Structure 1
């Protein structure tokens, strides 16, 4: 047995690890229906100015990233992204959504979108508090 520390991300290794987890999940929960879900907003020059990306899996929408260009913040683009993404997640059969965010990022934004804080990881010097949020769909 040999333990290695790799200093760069190696997609083929990540894929191997993900496939291993998926195989385990299949054995526990049945066939997976995971799909990427990404929504973007572009300006008149076709440049992406805001976007949200995540996955739907086992009836949950897992939000990985939501970003709005600083120039366009405060104009409701984040809410538009969430509305469109959640609409599609529900269409794909999702019953809930989850996301995590740092204290200086967007916990209050997600709460305004109907998410509830279900947990935190405490901050420490050089690392802010992290919030875990969850929302169920009616």
Structure 2
């Protein structure tokens, strides 16, 4: 056995680790049904000004990133994008949506959409607290 540290992006290593996890999951949950799911808003010039991106897998919607341009914040765009994504997740038979966020980002935004805090990691030193939220669909 040889142990090593890799301090750069390495797709071969990442892919091998993901393949290992998927194989293990298949033993317990059956075939993976992971599908990307994103909702996007564009301005009149076609530039992305907001969106939600994640994937549905094993009847869960794993939200990986949510962003709205500063010029569109407070307009309800984020809520619209989230509602569209959550509706699509329901159509895919998802039973739960999951997201994590930092304390200065959007925990209150998600709570207004019906997400509940499932866990919290307090900030250490100057670091922010991190919230893990879930919503039954």
Same fold (TM over 0.5): yes
Structure 2 distance, partners of 1:99, 1:50, is: 17
Structure 1 distance, partners of 2:27, 2:104, is: 39
Describe the superposition over 1:83-122 as per-residue Cα deviations: whole angstroms up to 9, x where unpaired: 1100111111101101111100000000001000111011
Q: How many residues align?
A: 137
Partner of 1:45: 45
1:71 Cα shift?
Answer: 1.3
Q: Which segments of 5 or more consecutive residues in structure 1 lack a partner in the other structure?
A: none
Structure 1 distance, partners of 2:88, 2:13, is: 31
Moved over 3 A (4+): none
Structure 2 distance, partners of 1:16, 1:52, is: 27
Structure 1 distance, partners of 2:70, 2:61, is: 26
Structure 2 distance, partners of 1:41, 1:16, is: 34
1:12 Cα shift?
Answer: 2.5
Is 1:105 aligned to residue 131 of structure 2?
no
Report the 3-state secondary structure (helix = DSSP H, G, I; strand = E; otherwise coil) of the residue aligned with 1:93: coil
1:40 Cα shift?
Answer: 0.9
Written as runs of structure 1 = structure 2, the 5 A alignment for 1:28-43 is 28-43=28-43
Structure 2 distance, partners of 1:32, 1:83, is: 25
Structure 2 distance, partners of 1:22, 1:10, is: 19
Q: Which segments of 5 or more consecutive residues in structure 2 lack a partner in the other structure?
A: none
Q: Give me the TM-score of the superposition, normalised by structure 2.
A: 0.96
